[in-house]
Amino acid sequence: MSTSAPAVAGSRQPSADVRGEAARRRTFAVISHPDAGKSTLTEALALHARVIGSAGAVHGKAGRRGTVSDWMDMERDRGISITSAALQFAYRDAVVNLLDTPGHADFSEDTYRVLTAVDAAVMLVDAAKGLETQTMKLFAVCKHRGIPIITVVNKWDRPGMDALALMDEIAERTGLTPTPLTWPVGIAGDFRGVLDRRDGSYRHFTRTAGGATIAPEEVFPADQALAREGDAWTQAVEEAELLAETGAEHDQELFLAGATTPVLFASAVSNFGVGQLLDVLVDLAPAPADRPDADGQPYPLDAPFSAFVFKVQAGMDTGHRDRLAYIRVCSGVFERGMVVTNASTGRPFATKYAQQVFGRDRETIETAWPGDVVGLVNAAALGVGDTLFVDRPVRYPPVTTFAPEHFAVARVADTSKYKQFRKGIDTLAGEGVVQVLISERRGDGSPVFAVVGPMQFEVASHRMEHEFGARISLDSLPYSLAMRTDEASVPAITASSGTEVMQRADGELLALFTTKWVMGMVREKPGVTLEPLIAAQLG
């Protein structure tokens, strides 16, 4: 399902073609607190773009079909997203690259990586719960990165907060001015349709069985809407007029500058309001632009091909156990078969096996343009944050690694499976599922898993057993803090109780501490170097 005509490998596309193709791209992520309906919305968007015939189950319970974007067994069993997923499809004259993200806080690191690869974000807000903790953390990342945000108030078909009160909460907690493009007709729990504030029309939705197909939509002028809905329409009109009086009108420049957020009301599970969101994304979300390199200088869209790796995933193809590197194309045209240079190592990488990704499904792709997400197969030589280029050297900013807060020793349950154990450990470390630390105290045979959230331990254990055939045991360690250190500081650090120094797979030395008090005591020792492990984190 290539989105443009194939190009001959090794050819050079005119800059006008590159900028024209880039202008068609819309690359965005869906962010929210767990259970706000991200994966359901992702499925509904694909349904409205008519790239799937019917939506999957909302919760991946036993015996039900999970959503397209939730492809891991654990995701289907638990009904939550625990890894990011990429979907690409055409809509109108645009090419949409949609990145679904994990909602659970334990997988914030994966979400952060995805947010380095997008040009806009859809912030999903539960109508009953408003802005929740994880939503605010992810909003902070988007704001820090200058990512424009479109807000969708989801689950309006269920009892929830007052619509005006939700607008006040968004304004107060985010600092953005909400500028609703649609306004609900009917209170939360009685979702009849929306008043389209752009033309004053009424868009009435009709439910379908289980929300599995596109909800029929009828458009009525204001006089017919009043006759159909009576007081519900009158209230919607009055509230829309109040919004107009307060200046809550869309301004494209203010939206792109991160000062305002367009708002739509929807029910993803019923497919209400999803078509409007797709249209708003195509009409208002920014196309790819010149991307800053590691020195902060804009790198031109029409420069030779460049991209960066924002995610590595193994185990998607159970038949081949291959490793897929997701790249975001930043400049030029990608052509399958081209040999690119990895800026981190200076080594060439052949792109013979390049694929367009749609959840777990993949299809060979010949060309890709700025904004597109491409999956490179057999990518053992690539790591998260690597920059790829041809002809003109460039390096994009590194992808942040988060400071782990939970630590556990991993041991193989069956020593005859040690080879599979080592392969699994190396794979998980390369993907960034866990950080792998080695301590002299335990040796290579008992690596330490370091994670941001404890559910990452569950994912790692599940994958070690089911993908690599090496069941493991995990024994928790008492540490809760990690700092970067150096060889000269090791004796002084380890002389104190409640400490240990380990080496990460990338060679960094990490000092681990049981409490902030212990870390403070060690920091006061002369000649000890302790540095924060990360430059930035969520929240």
List, as residue ranges, the binding site for GTP: 100-104
Contacts 24+ apart (CB under 8 A), 4-8: 4/367, 4/369, 5/367, 6/366, 6/367, 7/333, 7/335, 7/366, 7/367, 8/335
Helix axes of 163-174 and 231-245: crossing angle, nearest 10 degrees: 30
Query: What are the backbone angles phi and psi of residue 221, rounded to the nearest 5°?
Result: -70, 170
Report the 10 Å Cβ neighbour count for 359: 21
Q: How far apart are CA 459 and CA 82, in angstroms?
A: 8
Enumerate the known binding-site residues: 100-104
Place of tokens 């868009």: 203
Q: Who's near 145: CB < 8 A, 6+ residues apart? A: 115, 116
Burial 134-172 (b: 16+ CB within 10 A, else e): bbebbbebbeeeebbbbbbbbbbbbebbebeebbeebbe
Q: Please write down the HEC assignment for all residues of 465-493.
A: HHCCCCCEEEEECCCCEEEEECHHHHHHH
CA 285 from chain center: how many Å? Answer: 17
Can you tell me the distance from the alpha carbon of 470 to that of 490, in angstroms, rounded to the nearest whole number? 33
Structure tokens at 132: 């929740």
Instruction: Compute the distance between CA of residue 463 and CA of residue 30 in angstroms, rounded to an integer.
Output: 25
Query: In angstroms, what CA-CA distances link 459 with 410, 446, 449, 468?
Result: 13, 18, 12, 13
Using an 8 Å Cβ cutoff, are 153 and 264 in contact? yes
Query: Which H/E stretch holds residue 502?
Result: strand 499-504
Neighbours of 298 (CB within 10 A): 10
* Type of residue at 502: M
Which two structure tokens, joined as six digits, stand for 173? 């907690």
Distance set, CA 28 to CA 309, 397, 510 (Å)? 16, 19, 34
